[in-house]
Amino acid sequence: MDLIDKLYKLKKERNAVILAHYYQDNSIQDIADFLGDSLALAQKAKQTDADVILFCGVRFMAETAKILNPTKIVLMPDLNAGCSLADSAPADKFEKWIHTYPDNVVISYINCSTEVKAMSDIICTSSNAEKIINSVPDDKQICFAPDKHLGSYIIKKTGRDMVLWDGTCQVHIIFSELEVINLMNKHPEALLIAHPECPDNILQYADFVGSTTALLNYSINSDAKEFIVATEPGIIHQMEKKVFDKKFYPIPNLDGCSCNECPHMKLNTLEKMVAALENMQPEIFIPEELRLKAIRPLERMLELS
Ligand code: 13P
Ligand code: SF4
């Protein structure tokens, strides 16, 4: 049987919903029930009445789904789909770090482990970080982890002085500034749209900065016809599907290759999705005590979003 037919059949039998991030392979994007950024995927996972969530993204996203909706079976096509930001903040080091600043409010980017979430006061994503930081009273100091570039960007936007964890996204830190300048010279009418995980040497050229969903919406609603896209190129598939008369240019990385895909996101395949629904694994499990600690800062984020 054709792989796609098999997937639809299994999806129906298992009463499963397929949630996918925009950085997934085009073939996965095309069969997903719902596509979104980290915030929208968390909200969708919390609301779904399906019995099974097949999460096509990375592990912190699937864990977030399980934390928010624990009675569902949450499957991932490949459990090894991690994230360099989450890996940059091991729980023991993070615990020592926050104890150095006992009076600070601890805000963690959703790209972190469940253990780190459990030690945080509020979680944020790239689409609500500014709002979340602004919700903290002015007299409170803030620790922000793990993305130092998102942190620096938010410091500029809010004027808040935050202590930053030294983590980065391996995909967004390797865009070549020289190639950005070359693309801007080659396409002078193009607007540069960027994800806030990019370092400042890239963000300084951006006409618009936002989460993956925000970048997609901006490219749809803007009058501009050409865009230089400073984020993982998977999102360009949706941009091209939504608007036929616009052009999108990915930015080459430091090796001059326009192939700076997220290696973790790209571990998921249609074959692995079929196998996951067939075998009902790999499944996400979170100890209940840990889940109850991790849900508090996530619920706080959802209330504030
Ligand atoms: P978004 O929340 O903007 O989709 O970002 C998630 C991510 O991992 C970006 O690298
Ligand atoms: Fe993590 Fe970067 Fe991949 Fe996003 S693109 S999942 S931040 S490694």
Q: What is the pLDDT of residues 176-210, one digit of tens each?
A: 999 999 999 999 999 999 999 999 999 999 999 99
Q: How far is the CA of 299 from the centre of ligand 2 (A)?
A: 23
The two structure tokens encoding residue 97: 């770090």
The answer to whether 3-82+265-285 and 177-250 have equal CATH topology is yes
Backbone angles phi, psi at 113, to 5 degrees: -70, 165
pLDDT digits (tens, 9 = 90+) for 270-286: 999 999 999 999 999 99
The two structure tokens encoding residue 111: 């790209």
pLDDT digits (tens, 9 = 90+) for 103-154: 999 999 999 999 999 999 999 999 999 999 999 999 999 999 999 999 999 9
Ligand 2 atom, smallest distance to 263 CA: 3
Ligand 2 probe mutation, 85, 147, 148, 173, most atoms within 8 A of CB? 85
In 10 A of CB 235, how many CB atoms? 25
Question: Regarding the domain with residue range 3-82+265-285, which homologous superfamily does it belong to in the CATH classification?
Answer: NadA-like (3.40.50.10800)
Q: How far is the CA of 53 from the centre of ligand 1 (A)?
A: 19
Question: Regarding the domain with residue range 177-250, which homologous superfamily does it belong to in the CATH classification?
Answer: NadA-like (3.40.50.10800)
In 10 A of CB 12, how many CB atoms? 9
Average pLDDT over residues 239-246: 95
Domain borders along the chain are 3-82+265-285, 85-164, 177-250
CA–CA gap between residue 153 and residue 157 (Å, rounded): 6
CATH of region 85-164: 3.40.50.10800
Would you say 112 and 86 are in contact if contact means Cβ atoms under 8 Å apart? yes
Would you say 78 and 272 are in contact if contact means Cβ atoms under 8 Å apart? yes
Query: Nearest bound ligand to CA 235?
Result: 1
Asked if pLDDT for residue 256 goes beyond 70, the answer is: no
CA–CA gap between residue 191 and residue 196 (Å, rounded): 16
The DSSP element (H or E) to which 201 belongs, if any, is helix 200-203
What residues line ligand 1, using a CB cutoff of 6 Å? Answer: 37-38, 111, 125-126, 169, 195, 197, 211-212
Percent of the chain with pLDDT over 90: 96
DSSP for 85-125, please give it.
HHHTS-HHHHHHHHHHSTTSEEEEESSS-HHHHHT-SEEE-
- Model's pTM, two decimal places? 0.96
Q: Which residues make beta-bridge pairs with 227?
A: 191, 248
Nearest residue (CA) to ligand 1, atom 2: 38
Would you say 75 and 52 are in contact if contact means Cβ atoms under 8 Å apart? yes
